[in-house]
Structure 1
Amino acid sequence: MALSRRWPGIVLTVLAMAAACSPLWLTLPVPRHALVIDQARFTAAPGDEPGWVALPHAQDRHRARSRYRAVFELDEAPAQPLHLLVPTFSYRAVIALDGDRMLDTGADSLVPGITLGASALVPLSERHLSPGRHEIDILLEAPGVARGYLSALYVGTAQQILPYHRLRVLVFEHSRMMVLACQLLLAIATLMIWIYRPRESLYGWLFLLLLVSTASYAGLLADIVPDVSAWLPYAFTVSMSSVFILHVIALKINGTVPPAWLRACVAAVPGACLLALAAGVAPARTLVLGVVAPILVFSPLVTVALSAWGAFVRKVPEAWLLLLPLCLFSLATLHDGAIVAGLLDGPVFLSIYYRQLLLVAIAAILMRRLGLSLTRLDGANAHLKQRLAEREAELHRLYEEERGKAACRVRSEERHRLTVDLHDGLSGHLASIIALAERERSAGIERTAREALDDLRLVIHSLDIGDRELVAALAGLRERLEPRLRRLDVALDWSMARLPEVSGVTPTSALNVLRIVQEAVTNALRHGPATRIAVRGLAGPRGEALIVIDNDGVPYTEADAGGAGLRNMRRRAASLGGALRIEALADGTRVTLTLPPRLPGDAEG
């Protein structure tokens, strides 16, 4: 099952490797319907005897200049203009036809100096289209890095020749310029990231790699700086730093700290070679081919080994991303080394193309790391936002609690102030009125003043009631009712043991309950007249609280339902979220007040 899931990845990897390796074994197509010139007389040096060679031809040793002469015949004048195509040569060619100089590629293009391979197209004039024998002379100039190379020549019409020439211009010139442009853009992007993330030294090493590897493009200046060829050995020596930088990058990707001596080699080895070149210790060509070229060719194999160690031994996922481009780049450098050593024919160095693939792979690894860092940063940011929201919610809750407590303290202090004021002021005056009425024996005044005093004390007592203290409020009412009923010879049976707890009790709601019970007792005395009153607290079938007031007076009738007192009792019960029921008994009347387990907070007085 695991293998079946890996098959798509394996197939894609194989296809990617085949596509990436195609430049190593594919050749560019040549015109099929054009006249092919595949032989020429080759003169290795002035004074040497010319000899016939087959085209394409790779010279057997490094030469600065060599000459080729090829011939072709036209049986009749062509109906369309003809062109001469030289598909591939290395690296500068001066082309003459029938003794007339037609093209000097060194003056027409800046690009051939990059990696030696170039292509040329020569339009033939009417004088060169006459029937008969025509001679093509090619002076080939090679820089001494690789052997001179000349492909077969083709003569044909524009339709037969131009598509193949354009393909070679794209490969030899435009693609190289695109590679250089991409490398410069990648260097700028890497530098900007490194400036803003200096702790990520891997970005700094990648920027340095991109910078020193541009030295291999020094041939672009061939037509701008006349003696730039003298500086090419120095440019290739500077680019040698790139192989040591690759070692450092591979180790850092594997999670290993590069040793100090390896970091020192980045500057020490090229520096020593540059000093040797400047001092003339050895000829430049000998130093480049004997020291610089072997290091450039074989050092990537060490980087491949380091990346393979990270992928297979240390199990680093990013090492796998680097391994394939490294292998292809190493094959390309071996291919180029074989061209320089004369083991392979052909002028085109492939490492310049595969280097860009390698740089893109390294950049992809760095972008992956940057993406993972940003993902972790986003995760941490989301976590902090969540924690902040939780803290804000907790602070809001604490604030609301503190605000509620502060409001309770204010209300408590205000109730205490009202209680003191009513007790010390109005209550004292009523007590004085009662005392004066007793001395004057004015029973009406005394009774009314005593009722007013009891009612005032009821209000004062309710102001001091807190939540879940309804039983205590009722107990205070009982203390005030008992003396009054005792003077009237009315028996009071009081029991609140079975009354369930009621929450949400405020001074207003407590006063409403006390008013209802007080009014029920007053009605029993006034309309009864009752001789026994029973007040009991009970639990309803659904958990509600029941306060039942029974009396043995005259039974209740519907004619009594229209009184203002009963309407006030029902209004107060409704404001408490409860109900009031009055029913007649065989020997009296029963008043039942039903209260919910939790009273509403906005009960009106």
Structure 2
Amino acid sequence: MLLCSAVQAQGGTDTIDIAQAYLEPEGAPAWSGQVKLPHLWDKAYPGLAGRARYQLVLPPVAPDGVLRGLYFPRVGNQVQIYVGGDLIAHRGVLGDSRNDATKAPLWVPVPTSLLSSTASTALEVRVAVQPVRWGGLAAPRFGPEATLLPQYRERYIWRQWGAVAVVFALALTGVVAGGLWHLNREPVYGYFALCAPFGMLRYGDRLWETSPLGWPLWGGIVAFSLTVHMLLLVRFALALVGRDGVGARRGFWVLLAAEASLVVGGFGFGQPWCWTAALALLFVPAFWAYAVAAREALVARQPEAIALCLASFIPIGAGLYDFLEIRVSTESVGRSSYLPLATMLFVLLMGWLILNRYARQVRAYQGLSNSLDEKVRQREQELQVSYALLQQEHAQHAALLERQRIMRDIHDGVGSQLVGLLSLIGKGRTNAQLREHANAALDELRMAVDAIQPVGGDLATVLATLRYRMQPRLAATGIQVDWQVEELPALESLTPHMVLQIQRLLLEAFTNVLRHAQASTVRVSARHQDGPGQPPHLVLEIADNGVGMESSAQLGGQGLANMRARAQAIGAQLEITAAPGQGTCVRVALPMAPEPVQPAIPAPAPAAPASRWP
């Protein structure tokens, strides 16, 4: 078999750019002939899978003991390499679509024993290709290992470690943006956090030869991830300059639908031009977003827009170069792509811009917080001043109400008694009647004074004071007092008004005992009751062993009405029981927390009536 090959020597290495090709596309006739390398399968048979054999020749080598090898800038999709008829290297299994050797350059050491110093050596490269996978063969280089291995390593690092750098940068900035979005739900952070995983999938696909899914499903997923990544970056850029409006949102979904259709056409139906069109379509929103950012930078002098324009210039230029020189031009197959490193620089700059934006927001929020704190402090001071004034006004109002109450009590109590006393004097009544009214006036005065004294909710003290006032008068008439006051709980609602009403109510009962009961003993009792089905209350009782009353009709009159009104004023219940020859009992049930009821209290009659219970 005659092997045709063109070998170009350069710097001690040989580049082989002519091969005898045997092409076997599926669904099309086989073909053989010379091809110029690089040879791109998708250009020759778009949408078809198949196999190819490329026969080349290696020039004679001097027996100098120098190690030599083959450097393939691009070969695939699955490949086997034979030198002198012996298999010396392979990547993947021919026809297994999960493997793709085109993702990285290939270095193959050639054993010296397979090379000849006098004649050419046959080199055969067998490949299996899948549609829309950019398979085929770039021009291999043959020469000393010391010369070619550094070239291979440089390209490998540029291509593979560039992808690693992009994935790491996307992961770092994506996590930061996601955390910031979680804090304040601002869309600009959400767009970047969302685009990062799609970009990581696209660029990370270069890092493993064996895909998790077969072709073309995996190719469609990776391609669609790239389109989503780029469109979300456009949304991020527009949101960064404040132009992510309704039109941008609608355009995003329209472009996403168009890109999805082209991806399906390219990978689902095996049409390479669809994927090329999808890549070309991505430049439309990219240039539009750049134009919007440039306008904001020139007109509004917006810092984010200026930074975005500077950061986007390099990746857009790199993407345009890769599209024209690698995707469109067949002669450039095997060249290095600049987009990953340009993308890494863009991502890092955007990460810095995101952090700087957040720092400005934090400073703005801190300034706003400090301003609010100062306003709150001023407001607190104003409220404190207002509260102090209200306290002062409340104290003055309380003092005024207390003075009015004292004046009213003196007027209604002592005043009415003095008026009655003057009336009796004018009528020439007896000394006994005058003395009785004078004592009544004195009792009213004493009760008004006693009501002012603080008792701290202690009802027993009020009763003791009343006993002290009444004891001499009761003893003068020969009436003994049976004191049965238990230890009582504090009554929080025991105000001076309430004390005065209790004193007057009980004084009315004592006065009736002195005037009408003809008793020798009066029992005064006080206890606390808290039984089931009723609220806790205090029970006060004044019971005598006098003559009692013959019928309930004798319980009427102005005196009883006054007692009931006083009990109602303090929320108490009044009960009077009497029977002929068995004495009379006045019972007052005083709730622990009575409802404040303040009906008008009728003034006592100016003259003492002659009947029982006046």
TM-score, normalised to structure 1, is 0.51
What is the aligned partner in structure 2 of residue 376 from structure 1? 364
Q: Is the 8 A contact 1:193 1:203 kept in 2?
A: yes
Q: Which of 303, 309, 312 is matched with 1:323 structurally?
A: 309
- The separation in 2 between residues aligned to 1:183 and 1:280, in whole angstroms, is 27
What is the aligned partner in structure 2 of residue 35 from structure 1? 13
Does 1:211 pair with 2:194? no
Deviations 1:100-146 (CA, angstroms, capped at 9, x unpaired): 222223479x9x98994532111222431453431221234555254
- The separation in 2 between residues aligned to 1:160 and 1:51, in whole angstroms, is 29
What is the aligned partner in structure 1 of residue 234 from structure 2? 247
- 1:49 is paired with a residue of what secondary structure? strand
- 2:108 is paired with a residue of what secondary structure? strand
Q: Is the 8 A contact 2:263 2:278 kept in 1?
A: no
Q: Is the 8 A contact 1:145 1:340 kept in 2?
A: no
What is the aligned partner in structure 2 of residue 102 from structure 1? 88
Q: Is the 8 A contact 2:318 2:342 kept in 1?
A: yes
What is the aligned partner in structure 2 of residue 83 from structure 1? 69
Q: Per the alignment, do residues 276 and 57 of structure 1 end up closer, same or farther by CA in structure 2, a change over 3 Å counting?
A: closer
- 1:104 is paired with a residue of what secondary structure? strand
- 1:50 is paired with a residue of what secondary structure? strand
- The separation in 2 between residues aligned to 1:282 and 1:391, in whole angstroms, is 68
What is the aligned partner in structure 2 of residue 61 from structure 1? 43
After TM superposition, give the deviation of residue 342 of structure 1 in Å.
3.2
After TM superposition, give the deviation of residue 151 of structure 1 in Å.
3.0
Supply the AA of the counterpart residue of 2:43. R
- 2:197 is paired with a residue of what secondary structure? helix
- Range moving further from structure 2, 315-324 or 34-43: 34-43
The equivalences for 1:219-234 within 5 A come to 222-225=209-212, 227-234=214-221
- 1:69 is paired with a residue of what secondary structure? strand
Q: Is the 8 A contact 1:276 1:282 kept in 2?
A: no
Q: Which of 348, 357, 374 is matched with 2:345 structurally?
A: 357
What is the aligned partner in structure 2 of residue 304 from structure 1? 290
The equivalences for 1:475-486 within 5 A come to none
The equivalences for 1:254-269 within 5 A come to 254-259=241-246, 261-267=247-253, 269=255
- The separation in 1 between residues aligned to 2:362 and 2:12, in whole angstroms, is 59
Deviations 1:429-468 (CA, angstroms, capped at 9, x unpaired): xxxxxxxxxxxxxxxxxxxxxxxxxxxxxxxxxxxxxxxx
Supply the AA of the counterpart residue of 2:358. L
Supply the AA of the counterpart residue of 1:51. Q
Deviations 1:315-342 (CA, angstroms, capped at 9, x unpaired): 2121121113323222233223323333
After TM superposition, give the deviation of residue 76 of structure 1 in Å.
4.2
What is the aligned partner in structure 1 of residue 430 from structure 2? none
Supply the AA of the counterpart residue of 1:213. G
Q: Is the 8 A contact 1:37 1:71 kept in 2?
A: no
Q: Which of 166, 182, 185 is matched with 2:172 structurally?
A: 185
After TM superposition, give the deviation of residue 155 of structure 1 in Å.
1.8
- The separation in 1 between residues aligned to 2:142 and 2:81, in whole angstroms, is 14
- The separation in 2 between residues aligned to 1:362 and 1:191, in whole angstroms, is 14
Q: Is the 8 A contact 1:115 1:349 kept in 2?
A: no
Supply the AA of the counterpart residue of 2:306. W
- 1:74 is paired with a residue of what secondary structure? coil
Deviations 1:254-293 (CA, angstroms, capped at 9, x unpaired): 223422x532444454356647877999824257336522
- The separation in 1 between residues aligned to 2:74 and 2:293, in whole angstroms, is 36
Q: Is the 8 A contact 1:83 1:123 kept in 2?
A: yes
- 1:61 is paired with a residue of what secondary structure? helix
Q: Per the alignment, do residues 268 and 391 of structure 1 end up closer, same or farther by CA in structure 2, a change over 3 Å counting?
A: closer
- The separation in 2 between residues aligned to 1:220 and 1:205, in whole angstroms, is 25
Q: Per the alignment, do residues 35 and 333 of structure 1 end up closer, same or farther by CA in structure 2, a change over 3 Å counting?
A: closer
Does 1:195 pair with 2:178? no
- The separation in 1 between residues aligned to 2:367 and 2:116, in whole angstroms, is 79
Q: Is the 8 A contact 1:248 1:258 kept in 2?
A: no
- Range moving further from structure 2, 123-132 or 214-223: 214-223
- The separation in 2 between residues aligned to 1:166 and 1:276, in whole angstroms, is 35
- The separation in 1 between residues aligned to 2:121 and 2:227, in whole angstroms, is 47
Does 1:367 pair with 2:355? yes
After TM superposition, give the deviation of residue 156 of structure 1 in Å.
0.8
What is the aligned partner in structure 1 of residue 33 from structure 2? 50
After TM superposition, give the deviation of residue 226 of structure 1 in Å.
5.4
- The separation in 2 between residues aligned to 1:115 and 1:378, in whole angstroms, is 55
Does 1:235 pair with 2:235? no
- The separation in 2 between residues aligned to 1:61 and 1:279, in whole angstroms, is 17
- The separation in 2 between residues aligned to 1:330 and 1:94, in whole angstroms, is 37
C-alpha RMSD of the superposition: 4.3
After TM superposition, give the deviation of residue 295 of structure 1 in Å.
1.7
Deviations 1:239-258 (CA, angstroms, capped at 9, x unpaired): 32334323322322222342
- The separation in 2 between residues aligned to 1:75 and 1:290, in whole angstroms, is 43
Identity among equivalent pairs (%)? 18
- The separation in 2 between residues aligned to 1:240 and 1:152, in whole angstroms, is 32
The equivalences for 1:92-491 within 5 A come to 92-106=78-92, 116=102, 118-132=104-118, 133-140=120-127, 143=130, 144-146=132-134, 148-157=136-145, 159-198=146-185, 200-217=186-203, 218=205, 222-225=209-212, 227-259=214-246, 261-267=247-253, 269-271=255-257, 274=260, 283-285=269-271, 288-289=274-275, 291-338=277-324, 339-342=326-329, 345-347=332-334, 348-380=336-368
TM-score, normalised to structure 2, is 0.50
Supply the AA of the counterpart residue of 2:121. H
- 1:223 is paired with a residue of what secondary structure? coil
What is the aligned partner in structure 2 of residue 591 from structure 1? none
Deviations 1:2-39 (CA, angstroms, capped at 9, x unpaired): xxxxxxxxxxxxxxxxxxxxxxxxxxxx9964331334
- The separation in 1 between residues aligned to 2:271 and 2:209, in whole angstroms, is 18
- The separation in 1 between residues aligned to 2:213 and 2:91, in whole angstroms, is 15
Q: Is the 8 A contact 1:70 1:135 kept in 2?
A: yes
- The separation in 2 between residues aligned to 1:249 and 1:127, in whole angstroms, is 59
Q: Per the alignment, do residues 288 and 263 of structure 1 end up closer, same or farther by CA in structure 2, a change over 3 Å counting?
A: same
What count of residue pairs does the alignment treat as equivalent? 364
- The separation in 2 between residues aligned to 1:160 and 1:356, in whole angstroms, is 30
- 1:214 is paired with a residue of what secondary structure? helix
Q: Per the alignment, do residues 278 and 150 of structure 1 end up closer, same or farther by CA in structure 2, a change over 3 Å counting?
A: closer
Q: Is the 8 A contact 1:190 1:203 kept in 2?
A: yes
Residue ranges of structure 2 left out of the alignment (5+ in a row): 1-7, 25-29, 385-614
